[in-house]
A and B are shown apart, each in its own frame.
Chain A
Amino acid sequence: MSLLDVRNLMVSHGQIEVLHDVSLAVGEGEIVAVIGPNGSGKTTLLRTLAGVLRPRRGTIALAGRALAGEPAWRVVRHGIALVPEGRRIFADQTVRANLELGAVSHGHLDGLDAAIARFPALRERLDQPAGALSGGQQQMLAIARGLMARPRVLLLDEPSLGLAPRLVRETFEVVRGIRAEGVSVLLVEQLAALALEVADRGYVLDRGRIVAEGAARALAADPRIVRAYLGQRSARGVSSGPECQPAP
């Protein structure tokens, strides 16, 4: 059985149904990408998994424990942490305070050193207000803060948003590093081609439905998917340089 198992999820905003019958799975130590056009429900999917939104129907299970309908602050205690779109850092507090807040769910602050070791750029800025960081550093802080919760599955919503190509590559390197430590990653990304390069498996979400799924390489090689979903975006900004080769 998969670590994270989502079945027949249906979510609506008011009267409008945003997700219809979405099922997906994330295995232990796996990177899974969800790609798809704007407005297809990717962010809604992650927000539902994190407990921000309540699904109307369907189940969410982490290691066999049912989590659908639990509030966010309880879901994170069970091991699902969301790094939200747009970072949502606490800009009025210091970088250190932000990292510490990431650990509220279990109260142990000893992960701070590991977080700083992973993101050296944050080290010199620990006591500065988080709002003074650059966009790239804020993204790093948001990811570091998410990891402070010691999740078993990290949900990443558009980590590349608004970042320069070099920083996008760095972010994806970080994602690989996270997996190397045994944390599974569910990644939602506009830069679909790049997401599929880093992921093991992928799902294509279109208008609230999963329309394709499979090994990331297979999806990236499927001409129909390339035409419909990878077209222009893959060319934008990020070249597939040698440092972007899929993990061996």
Chain B
Amino acid sequence: MYGLVALGYHVTWATSRTLNFSQGHVVMVGAVVAYAVHVAAGWPLVIALGVTVIASAAFGLVVERVAVRPFFRTGSPVWLLSTIALGIIVENVAMLTFGKDARAFPSTLALKPVFVLGAGVYPQELLLPVVGVALMGATQLFYHRTFYGRQLKAVAWDSEAAGLMGIDVPRAVAVAYALSAVLAGVAGVLLAPLLNVSPTMGTLIGLKAFAVAIIGGLGSAAGIVVAGFLYGLVEALVAGYVSTGAREIVGFAVVIAMLVVRPWGLGGARPARRV
């Protein structure tokens, strides 16, 4: 379930070598918007999904424009703080408009558990990895098989040379941010029925997704999805056999170990020396 959000980190990293640290908040925005349209206003879920996609893409564009672009050209790492700041602002806006309380997001797929190998899971929980893998495949195809995707890769490799080719670099980065936010927003809609919808729901998800992105390798979509599965599995095992308190400890300990042993991640390539 973290894989999808983590994939969003990969998308902006792969284009601009920057990250949107409000990625978790985009999950929340996605869930809140879907709640407002589907539950509160009573519109069909398909429309709610559509509105969420548009809203998260717009949020991604705002993040890029306000928190990243001013610092991208100078190569300054200020985007790290400014994207976090924007996330906090959004969280507070949600507090004021949506309210502090968590609200349930009813879904027919999260009513009755089905039993898989003796374990009870909601169909909604099975939907997540399916959508995750599908979106990962789509992202990979986009980056490697389409001309625009290869332009984004060129921007990632050498943004100045990409500009010399005629690639509109600021626009390419904006597209990546929109795409990344859409992934997180969709994850928010999928997660809403499992968790409750609240302004703070995204913070921990964003953090864990970042852990997953590091474990999987920021440069590798496949590595991230695999790491997303493993991370969820380990969390469930630790929570089940040890304690829920130990869950986060183990998770983030793995990240630190990973950074020491294999900083480029499970699926990432050892960084090649540029010739």
Contacts and interface: CB of A to CB of B under 8 A. Distances in A.
Nearest to A105: B166
Interface stretch (B27-35, B146-154, B191-199): B146-154
Contacts of A50: 164
Interface stretch (B52-60, B75-83, B155-163): B155-163
A145 B275 contact: no
Contact of B150 (A73, A101, A135, A145): A101
B101 interface: no
Contacts, number: 72
A131 B165 contact: no
Interface string B167-199: 111000000000000000000000000000000
Contact of A91 (B163, B165, B169, B275): B275
B86 to A, nearest CB: 26
A93 B164 CA distance: 17
Interface residues of B, number: 20
A149 B165 contact: yes
Could you say which of A92, A105, A145 has the most chain B C-beta atoms within 10 Å of its C-beta?
A: A92
A41 B127 CA distance: 59
B150 A72 contact: no
B72 to A, nearest CB: 13
Nearest to A145: B165
A76 B154 CA distance: 16
A84 to B, nearest CB: 6
Contacts of B164: 50, 52, 72-73, 76, 81-82, 84, 88
Nearest to A107: B147
A73 B272 contact: no
B165 A92 contact: no
B166 A90 contact: no
Contact of A88 (B147, B160, B167, B168): B160
A39 interface: no
Contacts of A149: 165-166
A128 to B, nearest CB: 14
B166 A91 contact: no
Interface string B231-275: 000000000000000000000000000000000000000001011
Given A105-B165, A131-B275, A91 B147 contact: no
Contacts of B165: 73, 76, 101-102, 104-105, 145, 149
A100 interface: yes
A76 B166 CA distance: 6
A126 interface: no
Interface in B46-88: none
A20 interface: no
B167 A71 contact: no
Interface string A83-100: 010001111110001001
B161 A84 contact: yes
A168 B153 CA distance: 31
Contact of B163 (A71, A92, A145): A71
A118 interface: no
Interface of B: 147, 150-151, 153-154, 157-158, 160-169, 272, 274-275
9 contacts: A51-B163, A73-B164, A82-B164, A84-B161, A88-B164, A91-B157, A91-B272, A93-B157, A101-B167
Given A92-B157, A104-B166, A138-B275, 10 more contacts: A72-B164, A73-B167, A73-B169, A76-B164, A81-B164, A89-B161, A90-B161, A91-B275, A101-B151, A106-B166
Closest 3 CB pairs of A and B: A105-B166, A88-B161, A72-B163
